[in-house]
Amino acid sequence: MVALWLLPAAYLVGSFPTANVVARATGHDVLAEGSRNPGASNVYRLAGWKAGLVVLLADIGKGAIPAGVGLVLDGHRGAYLLGFAAIIGHVFPITQRFRGGRGVATAGGVLIVIYPWIALGLAVVWFLIARVLRKASVASIVGAVAFPVAVALTGHPWGDVLITSALAALVLLRHVPNLRRLLRGEEHGLDTEPPDASER
């Protein structure tokens, strides 16, 4: 059984302001510039692909490390518990007055630990969609919807399908502003910096 004290520890790992730290190191304020979303896509637009990649890998690690600890201590249940705490920390970080990112990369880190092959396959799909359409939000939305479907189709227990569906629902809720802009044809791409859009 995962010790309860590890839940707030996992939350704090998830709440580390990766995007803020990296953006400030390059002379940018990720909460005041671009889309104002503290995520890898906004850092990519503001500071280039190297800075964006650092944020992406770090945010994946913020989910993978707590989930890995949970997996060792208590199997899939522990991985889900600590991983979910890390995702909540990333999405609602106390370090940033609860103004966090979308949770895609951190959730991806959790799912890499539990379902590495499914996560790898969907990572390829995400990359292809983002590269062709130049819209990270579309790739993230497709990935969120596809993950619980893939878990179900590969014969995993329905409990796992329900849990991954809940994670997908959280990611989709965080993308509601993006969905609205997509419907209006106003969603910004990876190579554009929206002056007034907010993804908070």
Q: Measured between alpha carbons, how far is residue 161 from residues 13, 91, 166 in Å?
A: 25, 22, 9
pLDDT exceeds cutoff 70 at 49: yes
pLDDT exceeds cutoff 80 at 43: yes
Per-residue pLDDT band at 33 (split at 50, 70, 90): confident
Q: CA 30 to CA 24: how far, in whole Å?
A: 8
Q: What is the mean pLDDT of the chain?
A: 86
Residues 66-83 pLDDT 10s: 999 999 999 988 999 999
Q: What is the chain's alpha carbon radius of gyration, rounded to the nearest angstrom?
A: 16
What average pLDDT score do residues 87-111 get?
Answer: 89
pLDDT of residue 165: 94
Whole-model pTM: value is 0.84
Q: Which residues of 2-27 are buried (b: 16+ CB within 10 A; e: fewer)?
A: beeebbebbbbbbbbbbbbebbeeee
